[in-house]
Amino acid sequence: MTEPLLSIEDLRVHFHTDAGVVKAVDGVSWSIGPGETLGIVGESGSGKSVSALAVMGLVEVPPARYESGRILFKGRDLLTADDKERRAIRGKEISMIFQDPLTALNPVFRVGHQIAEVIQAHEKMGRIAARAKAVDLLGEVGIPNPRQRAREYPHQFSGGMRQRAMIAMALALDPLVLLADEPTTALDVTVQAQIMDLLIRLQADRGTAIVLITHDLGLVAGHADRVLVMYAGKVAELGTIDDVYYRPRHPYTLGLLKSLARMDQRRSDRLQPIVGQPPSLIRVPPGCPFNPRCPFATDICRQEMPPLEPKDGPDHLAACHHSDQLALQQSPAAS
């Protein structure tokens, strides 16, 4: 791997709430290189979005507290950088898109105006030039009639169009990293295909690194180079998609792959679910957080959190005491 562009090191973000301490991110590390796509997969409450929000400075402190960690962008730690430096990076070098574009777009301003404003905030550019660039961007993300649509308000856009507009805004300053938090979850599947197609095309044109945060293992299989599997605020497994899907070394990954109904296969007799419920981030079980649901669990799993260690090769990491046993299992993804 080349020099990473953005890397997170041993990040711990804990939320102090009435009910207790929510360990949303608890010792998470990942990195992404230029032009790469990293998938971050997890269920709701796994903390999968929190590290990205921390990169953007969107985690409110308090209730949150950074217990440890660094967020390095081109070697600069965003957590200790001064405000001016952070502002110069966030939005310009790194930008983010969200599941619901309606909450991210301001309903009282015209779409074109909002995009132009973002451009002007970072670049010395006249209003007319910024407007023209906004129209170009809307055209580039596949909005028909961009000149006219730029003068419309967000509510006049359909869900898919809004997501396109938000992508246009996020790409306005040609960022090096795009954080995409469930960008297609609220969309229909044919529109999802359009949006993913657009992201890939833009990535190819501009060499943007994309962090794709989702719960959909299919989406990651189709679009990511590497994948990070999160469980209960911790990293369960990290590796190339082929390693993780075909040679999973964490029982949670294996369990997820086994439990999925597949559209491309004739009906199997029965799905094989993961037993039990995902834990609350306030009461994460001691030892490995997955141990109460894990078919491989032994005493050591209940006592000791397994370290995230290389398995097979240096780039395939898993946090499991028994990953050797998993190596003997046939992955359900292999077809």
Partner 1 sequence: MTDQAVPAAPPVGEVTLEAGASGFGGAETQAAAVGGITRQTQFGNVRRRFLRNKLAVVGLVMLTIVFVTAVFAPIIATHPPRAQDLNITLQGPSAQHWFGTDELGRDVFSRVVHGTRIAVTVGLASIFLALVIGVVLGSVSGYLGRAWDALIMRIADVFFAFPLIIGAIMIILVVGRGVAPVIIALGLFSWATIARLLRSSILSIRESEYVEAARSLGASKWRIVTRHVLPNSMAPVLVYAMVSVAAAIVAQASLSYLGVGVPPDVPDWGNMISSGQKFFGFKDYLWFFPSMAVVFTVLGFVFVGDGLRDALDPRLR
Partner 2 sequence: MTALVEVENLVKHYPIRSGIVFRHDVGAVRAVDGISFDLEQGETFALVGESGCGKSTTARAVLRLIEPTSGSIRFEGEDITTAGASRLRALRREMQMIFQDPFASLNPRMTVRGILREPFTIHGLDADGKVEALLNMVGLLPEHAGRYPHEFSGGQRQRVGIARALALNPKLIVCDEPVSALDVSIRAQVINLLEDLQAQLKLTYLFIAHDLSVVRHIADRVAVMYLGTIVETAPTDDLFERPSHPYTQALISAVPVPDPNRERARRRILVSGDVPSPVNPPSGCRFRTRCPKFANELTEAQQQRCIDEPPALVDRGEGHPSACHYAEARELV
Interacting residues toward partner 2 by CB under 8 A: 43-44, 144, 158, 160-161, 188-194, 197, 215-223, 241-242, 245-246, 255-257, 259-268, 270-275, 277-278, 333-335
If the CB atoms of residues 220 and 241 are measured against partner 1, the closer one turns out to be 220
Residue 172's binding partner among partner 1, partner 2, none (Cβ under 5 to 8 angstroms by kind) is partner 1
Residue 121's binding partner among partner 1, partner 2, none (Cβ under 5 to 8 angstroms by kind) is partner 1
If the CB atoms of residues 44 and 190 are measured against partner 1, the closer one turns out to be 44
Query: How far is residue 244 from each of residues 180, 224, 262, 313, 333, measured CA to CA in Å?
Result: 21, 12, 17, 12, 10
Q: Closest approach of Cβ 273 to partner 2, in Å?
A: 4
Q: Closest approach of Cβ 325 to partner 1, in Å?
A: 26
If the CB atoms of residues 56 and 195 are measured against partner 2, the closer one turns out to be 195
Q: Is there a contact between 38 and 181 (Cβ–Cβ < 8 Å)?
A: no
The tokens describing 172, both together, are 């306005």
Residue 205's binding partner among partner 2, partner 1, none (Cβ under 5 to 8 angstroms by kind) is none
Query: How far is residue 258 from each of residues 124, 217, 246, 248, 268, measured CA to CA in Å?
Result: 53, 12, 12, 11, 11
The tokens describing 326, both together, are 């998993």
Residue 281's binding partner among partner 1, partner 2, none (Cβ under 5 to 8 angstroms by kind) is partner 1
The identity of residue 277, as a single letter, is Q
Residue 333's binding partner among partner 2, partner 1, none (Cβ under 5 to 8 angstroms by kind) is partner 2
Query: How far is residue 334 from each of residues 26, 242, 312, measured CA to CA in Å?
Result: 32, 10, 18
Q: Closest approach of Cβ 197 to partner 2, in Å?
A: 6
Q: Closest approach of Cβ 242 to partner 1, in Å?
A: 28
Reduced to 3 states, what is the DSSP secondary structure of residue 289?
A: coil
Angle at 32 between CA 28 and CA 33, to 5 degrees: 155
If the CB atoms of residues 163 and 323 are measured against partner 1, the closer one turns out to be 163
If the CB atoms of residues 108 and 128 are measured against partner 1, the closer one turns out to be 108
The tokens describing 277, both together, are 């419920």
Q: Is there a contact between 148 and 110 (Cβ–Cβ < 8 Å)?
A: no
Residue 219's binding partner among partner 1, partner 2, none (Cβ under 5 to 8 angstroms by kind) is partner 2
Question: Which stretches of the chain bind partner 1, using CB under 8 A?
Answer: 13, 15, 17-20, 22, 24, 43-45, 47-50, 53, 56-60, 63-64, 83, 87-92, 95-98, 100, 103-106, 117-118, 121-122, 166, 169-170, 172, 276-283
Q: From CA 51, how far away is CA 220, in angstroms rounded?
A: 18
Q: Hey, how many other C-beta atoms are within 10 angstroms of the C-beta on 34? A: 14
